[in-house]
Amino acid sequence: MKPGIHPDYHYVMFEDTSTGDSWITRSTIKSDRTIEVDGQEYPHVILDVSSYSHPFYTGTMKIVDSAGRVERFNRRYGQRTPKSETK
Q: What's this model's pTM, rounded to 2 decimal places?
A: 0.61
pLDDT tens-digit map of 42-73: 999 999 888 888 777 677 766 555 567 778 88
- Residue-averaged pLDDT of the chain: 83
Domain for residue 84, yes or no? Answer: no
Mean pLDDT across the stretch 61-87? 70
Domain for residue 4, yes or no? Answer: no
Domain for residue 64, yes or no? Answer: yes
Closest to 1 (Cα-Cα) out of 10, 30, 9: 9
**Whole domain around residue 26: which residue ranges?**
10-77
Question: In which band, very low, low, confident or very high, does the pLDDT at 4 lie, cut at 50, 70 and 90?
Answer: confident
- With vertex at residue 51, the alpha carbon angle to CA 10 and CA 35, rounded to the nearest 5 degrees, is 40
Q: What percent of the chain has pLDDT over 70?
A: 80
**Domains: count for the chain:** 1
